[in-house]
Amino acid sequence: MINITNLHKSYQMGKNSLHVLKGIDFKVGEGELVAIMGSSGSGKSTLLNIIGMLDVANEGTYTLDNVPIENLDETKAAKYRNKFLGFIFQSFNLINYKTALENVALPLYYQGKKRDVRQEKSLEYLEKVGLKKWATHLPSELSGGQKQRVAIARALVSQPKVLLADEPTGALDSTTSNEVMKLIQEINNEGKTILVVTHEEEIALMCKRVVRLKDGVIVEDTLVNQKKAI
């Protein structure tokens, strides 16, 4: 599904350049649930943003579902992003003045889907995350965990091939984090490929595979249950 070889990324800051990713080789197959671990500043978000086509690498190759991701103009990148990827963020990124249902419906609106289709699909996905009754509520009327579940429904509504989550439990208490991760596990059990960036060990251990970044390279790649290097 994801195939990355020799990926490098530097940030230019004036005269200085910060070499964040220093030759990443990383493959993810369909149906995997992978945690990307590492301390703050280790390049987790940078890697996820490149995978999400929100940023570009300086060197290396990246193919997503056998499509080479390189030299894309913004229109094409946006098209692939909509087709392939769903995003979940630490801060939920919901639109405050829109209801839960309207937030979930937004990707369908951008895809030009008709109103009744948007309504029906959005309700279906709200039900999936256990929030059908909350459809008409605004984000300000929802708890953190509920907001993240709305964001998960929004990420799923366009049926992406891969779900990318950057610290999805970073703003939640441990009980709620656990609930959100259980939902992510359920979605993975239905076959969705999911990448979760986290710096929390407990969260990583709820995934099937843990990849650890340090000093710009992958220093560990382990299957969680078997505890075996791959």
Residues that bind ligand ADP (CB under 6 A): 11, 13, 18, 20, 38, 40-46
Least Cβ distance, residue 49 to Mg ion (angstroms): 9
Do residues 47 and 54 touch, judged by C-beta distance below 8 A?
no
Which residue, 160 or 168, has its beta carbon nearer to Mg ion?
168
Choices 42-50, 52-60, 124-132, 185-193; region in contact with Mg ion by CB under 5 A: 42-50
Least Cβ distance, residue 87 to Mg ion (angstroms): 13
Helix (H, G, I), strand (E, B) or coil at 152: helix
Binding string, residues 140-179; x marks residues near Mg ion by CB under 5 A = ----------------------------------------
Which residue, 18 or 95, has its beta carbon nearer to ligand ADP?
18
73's tokens: 């103009």
Least Cβ distance, residue 47 to ligand ADP (angstroms): 7
CA angle 183, 189, 194 (to 5 degrees): 70
Do residues 210 and 203 touch, judged by C-beta distance below 8 A?
no
Using rule CB under 5 A, residue 45 touches Mg ion: yes
182's tokens: 């259980």
Least Cβ distance, residue 12 to ligand ADP (angstroms): 8
Instruction: Tell me which DSSP letter residue 93 carries.
Output: -
Do residues 35 and 12 touch, judged by C-beta distance below 8 A?
no
78 binds, among ligand ADP, Mg ion, none (CB under 5 to 8 A by kind): none
Which residue, 100 or 204, has its beta carbon nearer to Mg ion?
204
Q: How far does the chain reach from its first CA to its final CA, in angstroms?
A: 17
Q: Which residues pair with 12 in a beta bridge?
A: 17
Cα atoms in the 13 Å half-sphere on the side-chain side of 183:
28
Q: Pick from 203, 202, 108: which is nearest to 148 by CA?
A: 203
11 binds, among Mg ion, ligand ADP, none (CB under 5 to 8 A by kind): ligand ADP
Which residue, 41 or 68, has its beta carbon nearer to ligand ADP?
41
Which residue, 38 or 107, has its beta carbon nearer to ligand ADP?
38
Residues that bind Mg ion (CB under 5 A): 45
